[in-house]
Structure 1
Amino acid sequence: MPEVVHYRVSMLRPHTHLFEVRATFPPGPDTLEAVLPVWTPGSYMVREFSRHLQDVRATNPDGEALAVRRTDKRTWRVDARGRAVTLSYRVYAHELSVRTSHLDGGHGYFNGANLFLYTEATRGLAHHVTVEAPAGWKAFTALDSRDGAFVADSYDALVDSPFEVGPHTPLTFVAAGVPHEVVVWGDAVQDPARLCADLQRICETQARLFGGLPMKRYLFLLYLTDKGRGGLEHQASTALLFPRVGLHNPRGWEDFLTLVAHEYFHLWNIKRVKPRAFVPMDYAQENYTSLLWAFEGVTSYYDNRMVLRAGLMSASRYLIRLGETLSALQATPGRKTQTLAESSFLCWVKHYRPDEHSPNSAISYYLKGEVVAVLLDLELRRATDDARGLDDLMRLLWERHGDGSGVPEEGVEAAASELAGKDLSAFFDRAVRSTEELDFSVFAHVGLEVRSRPRESASDRGGTPPPRARGEGRPRGWLGITPKGGATFASVLEGSPAQEAGVYVDDELVALDGWRVDTAALLSRCEDKAPGDTVRLTVFRRDKLVEVPVVLGQKPADAVWLARVDKPTDAQKAALQAWLGTAWDELG
């Protein structure tokens, strides 16, 4: 009989927030070294999951206790003497996020990297999991079930298959011939039929792009909460965290669908077509690659496009959302400091650990990667007279690397140049390997041009022309701070008047020119003044009252939108229709 690693996960006392785990390893070396990952695939930060693991005990097949010695932060060593070993331990789980684990009286959710000790010697064996849960609870996972256990063909497959356990009744639908389940926790979905219908359209749209689905069934785990938004992709499932109120309005629903489309697109782009640096994954430390922009940024480009192609977003809304992305990029000074390749490579210490200086020192590989993906798509279309585009690049990478062998660091660029029929190194030098401003002139290929204006308010996300005329259009004053809340500053932007004057992060605002204001009123009143005017900020700095005079600058034009050119050619109209699937005259 083949050797198997067995786990039993018990949650019979959910109010303790403690999963009780038993892991049984087959006979092997005299010394067993059981380890826990320090990170989970898809979330590129060392999170030290072992800090929540406690009460480790070891026994042999006769039930005799064995000595357990912890040798470092993630390793437990047992004198196994060549026999099977059972480790019993508990894991504290009270963080509700897609990358961690959570147990309470309503449900249990766990990621394998948080819960399952493993050994490198048995990593390639089959791993079986049985679940003990309160009465009425049922376990949901993408893994197959056999003889009362969930079966993974390796530890890597187990880590990539989260579990949700609770008194749930799943929603179901079939897309591209593959059964899909949706398990919802946190609130009831008001319109489950619409939810399933829209998800089905998105899944089938993506299946058409790649010629079918790469799994035999799929599981959506949806967590509706009071706040927070995020997703984590897996081999045949995804966990989604979304604010419940967001499902009750059109913009929130649109945003939810793009989140779904993003994680589902990862079925191909990262779960199967992945950086070669991830083959195999090293769970003990960081796995470095400069290609994350091509997997997360490109996927961010496609999340909107898949909703558009599914008929769930208009082309006009798509261009507005793209303009919002461009605006977010232009409002981030860090784009002038960090390259896209560096952003990908250093995500382990930068992207997932943002601080008050991050806007000035870093750029998100999701954000800039999405914009570069747009430009690359249009560059490929321009170079081939719209015969090829980014879809073709995705399919080519899928054909060559969909077996999980991994894309080399130069692989995306080489494949793009091959499709373009010319060397695209100059494009990648500028877009990926430098901090030069991106070249938006390629938008002219589809009859669009990038325009910009100052933001109308702190809530102005760009994407649209000026909503109204502002008097004589005079320049507005600019301070250059990002508010944290009612009275404090989250960041002071690089090169801003506030930075030059000596305003600090965490200064507690008291007054402007002697009058009490909060940060919202501060920004508004500064905008009502002219560049060159001096304002007096009174703040508490570490409990000391300080007055800081600031000479206002001119508010930057960092709200971006995409406008149609005044006199488009027939070629531009045709190119736009080929790109968006909407005729020029139908674009609002």
Structure 2
Amino acid sequence: MKEAVHYRVSMSRPHSHLFEVEARFPPGQDVLDAVLPVWTPGSYLVREYARHLQDVTAVGPRGEALPLHRVDKRTFRVKAGGQAVTVRYRVYANELTVRTSHLDGSHGYFNGATLFLYTEATRHHEHRVTVVAPEGWRTFCALEGEGETFIAPDYDELVDSPFEIGPHTPLSFTAAGVPHEVVIWGDTVPDAERLTADLQRICEAQARLFNGLPMRRYLFLVYLTDKGRGGLEHKNSTALLFPRAGLQTLRGWEDFLTLAAHEYFHLWNIKRIKPRAFVPFDYSQENYTTLLWAFEGMTSYYDNLFVRRAGLMSAQRYLTRLGETFTQLHGTPGRRSQTLADASLLSWIKHYRPDENSPNSAISYYLKGEVVCVLLDLEIRRATDNLKGLDDVLRLLWRRYGDGSGMPEEGMEAAVQEVTGRDFTPFFDLAVRSTRELDYSVLAHVGLQVEYRVRESANDKGGTPPPRKNGEVKPRGWLGLTTKGSATLATVLEDSPAMEAGLTPEDELVALDGYKVDAANLLSRCEDKRPGDTVRLTVFRRDKLMEFSVVLGQKPADAIYLTRVDKLSDAQKAAFQSWLGATWDETLG
């Protein structure tokens, strides 16, 4: 049996934000290269975790110092001489996100990729982690354990198992016969009983799709903060970051459930069914695939759908949220510049590194991927007279690639064609491999159609019909930009009046037509004018006062909502009920 790699993690001074780590590698290597990943699976950006390592030294089996030097940004080379080596170091952890690590007086949280040096020679050995926690703190991790030591069969599973250490009392529930724990940091939830009950219903709804759960236990790590939202999936756990105030509202509670449903669905879709390009992970550099839209976009489609299937969201509410998603896509000019396949491939330099021009040049594979998967599900249902759907494609992928062997780049398309017996090449050519507008006509299969209206304000997300107004609705003036803070331009949209006039991001607002203006009232004051009117916008650009004449355009009708088609047929009603599990009598009036 191969000898295990052993880690010891302690935190003697939590307020220093420093984890103290010892990594003991078994004998056998003459020269040992201990390396740290530059990224973590599920978050496709090179984050250079080694920048947080300090005070790195190495000793032999009798405690004698061994020569160590840094070869490159992530590699520490030790002259081991075939003997066991212990590398000691500290890791600065003061970034509270689901993909990094954080340590202070209230808790410790870490992702393995940020903390654990490894060697390629021992990557497939068993890895054991012993956590030395401050008094009164407990350690939570989805790995199997012996006391305070947690055991991973290899380095990949270790990296895929985050740790939370703190004075927490977990919540628990059982779903589909599998025990689940919920560990919460940052605040208490307003209704713990409701939280576990809702999570249980979502987990069991997903388990029904795949006829059971693929793990022996599961761990939710929940971080309630002042702001921020995100999640990171793992093989048997997830980390969820969510604003604590959000749980006090119905919309916020719903958002939290969709976030949890999203990460839980990754148990199958990417943690086990994964791109072949990720097998094995290369932790030293980017791992490229054109399929992230299928893994993240499809998961985004199913997160709302499973909250609906769990009975925690009405069909009407689901359609409203769907309209909001369509609106967000339609309001992103980058959909005309970047294909969905390229958005997946270039996530390493695009999605996780947005700038002021990103809305013009790129599209989120989460966002467009979700919309494409809605349309794909309905196309499959239409092609098979509602006998099959995207669920059947997922089950096929689970049977074929659920062992972790990896799905080839053409695997998604091939599975759809196998399930339907139809050639779906034209659909994928349009939706995934081109920048042409999507075809929403398939919505008619379930009795729906898209309608467009002008947004009522900058906070209008679409999804709902226009408010009823008395009298004629006058066209509104439009600048074509977004703002940030109190007085700064954030993005100037492609082909907009503002771009034609020469305005640019980071211009600081001063006045409109000679009167003081800020971000809060700039757009509304322009909307009070008519298309074709000329306004004078005064700004500071790098501390220089400048004035621009802008000929206002007409505010576009880019908010989308869903309505039922005229003369709804019995077949459309049946298809709708098969899709959303609701009758038309309880939906859209």
Alignment of 1:144-543 (within 5 A): 144-146=144-146, 148-469=148-469, 471-543=471-543
- Report the CA distance between 1:471 and its aligned residue: 3.9
- Report the CA distance between 1:148 and its aligned residue: 3.8
Secondary structure at the aligned position of 1:366 is classed as: helix
Secondary structure at the aligned position of 1:231 is classed as: strand
Q: CA separation of 1:540/1:471 partners in 2, compared to 1, >3 Å: closer, same or farther?
A: farther
The 1-side partners of 2:535 and 2:246 are apart by 39
- Report the CA distance between 1:318 and its aligned residue: 0.1
Q: Does 1:113 align with 2:113?
A: yes
The 2-side partners of 1:383 and 1:566 are apart by 22
Measured against aligned partners, the alpha-carbon deviations of 1:303-326 in whole angstroms (never above 9, x if no partner) come to: 000000000000000000000000
Measured against aligned partners, the alpha-carbon deviations of 1:134-180 in whole angstroms (never above 9, x if no partner) come to: 10000000001125410000000000000000000000000000000
Secondary structure at the aligned position of 2:365 is classed as: coil
Alignment of 1:69-148 (within 5 A): 69-146=69-146, 148=148
Measured against aligned partners, the alpha-carbon deviations of 1:20-51 in whole angstroms (never above 9, x if no partner) come to: 00000000220000000000000000000000
Deviates more, 1:520-529 or 1:242-251: 520-529
Sequence identity percentage: 74
The 2-side partners of 1:291 and 1:263 are apart by 17
The 1-side partners of 2:289 and 2:62 are apart by 46
- Aligned equivalent of 2:53: 53
Secondary structure at the aligned position of 2:535 is classed as: strand
Deviates more, 1:562-571 or 1:91-100: 562-571
The 2-side partners of 1:143 and 1:196 are apart by 21
- Report the CA distance between 1:473 and its aligned residue: 1.5
TM-score, normalisation: structure 2: 0.99
- Report the CA distance between 1:470 and its aligned residue: 6.7
The 1-side partners of 2:283 and 2:99 are apart by 14
The 1-side partners of 2:167 and 2:310 are apart by 32
Measured against aligned partners, the alpha-carbon deviations of 1:71-123 in whole angstroms (never above 9, x if no partner) come to: 00000000000000000000000000000000000000000000000000000
Measured against aligned partners, the alpha-carbon deviations of 1:293-342 in whole angstroms (never above 9, x if no partner) come to: 00000000000000000000000000000000000000000000000000
Q: Does 1:549 align with 2:544?
A: no
The 2-side partners of 1:378 and 1:222 are apart by 34
The 2-side partners of 1:178 and 1:120 are apart by 34
- Report the CA distance between 1:566 and its aligned residue: 2.0
The 2-side partners of 1:467 and 1:119 are apart by 62
Q: CA separation of 1:27/1:230 partners in 2, compared to 1, >3 Å: closer, same or farther?
A: same
Secondary structure at the aligned position of 1:415 is classed as: helix
Secondary structure at the aligned position of 1:423 is classed as: coil
The 2-side partners of 1:85 and 1:497 are apart by 65
The 2-side partners of 1:43 and 1:482 are apart by 27
Measured against aligned partners, the alpha-carbon deviations of 1:487-527 in whole angstroms (never above 9, x if no partner) come to: 00110000100000001100000110011111121100111
- Aligned equivalent of 2:43: 43
- Aligned equivalent of 1:558: 558
The 1-side partners of 2:264 and 2:475 are apart by 45
Measured against aligned partners, the alpha-carbon deviations of 1:385-433 in whole angstroms (never above 9, x if no partner) come to: 0000001111110010000011100000011011121100000000000
Instruction: Could you tell me which runs of 5 or more consecutive residues in structure 2 were left unpaired when the two chains were aligned.
Output: none
The 2-side partners of 1:526 and 1:393 are apart by 49
The 1-side partners of 2:241 and 2:6 are apart by 30
The 1-side partners of 2:346 and 2:489 are apart by 26
Contact 2:481 2:491 in 1 (8 A): yes
The 1-side partners of 2:421 and 2:2 are apart by 51
The 2-side partners of 1:27 and 1:391 are apart by 49
Secondary structure at the aligned position of 2:409 is classed as: coil
The 1-side partners of 2:5 and 2:459 are apart by 52
The 1-side partners of 2:18 and 2:179 are apart by 33
Measured against aligned partners, the alpha-carbon deviations of 1:234-268 in whole angstroms (never above 9, x if no partner) come to: 00000000000000010000000000000000000
Measured against aligned partners, the alpha-carbon deviations of 1:325-375 in whole angstroms (never above 9, x if no partner) come to: 000000000000000000000000000000000000000000000000000
The 1-side partners of 2:251 and 2:585 are apart by 25
Which residue identity lines up with residue 505 of structure 2 in the other structure?
V
Secondary structure at the aligned position of 1:72 is classed as: coil
Instruction: Could you tell me which runs of 5 or more consecutive residues in structure 1 were left unpaired when the two chains were aligned.
Output: none
Contact 2:173 2:200 in 1 (8 A): yes
The 2-side partners of 1:152 and 1:449 are apart by 50
Runs of 4+ in structure 1 deviating by more than 6 angstroms, as ranges, are none
Contact 2:139 2:148 in 1 (8 A): no
Secondary structure at the aligned position of 2:511 is classed as: strand
Q: Number of paired residues?
A: 588
- Report the CA distance between 1:133 and its aligned residue: 1.3
The 2-side partners of 1:96 and 1:586 are apart by 42
Which residue identity lines up with residue 203 of structure 2 in the other structure?
C
Which residue identity lines up with residue 378 of structure 1 in the other structure?
L
The 1-side partners of 2:472 and 2:358 are apart by 36
The 2-side partners of 1:60 and 1:327 are apart by 61
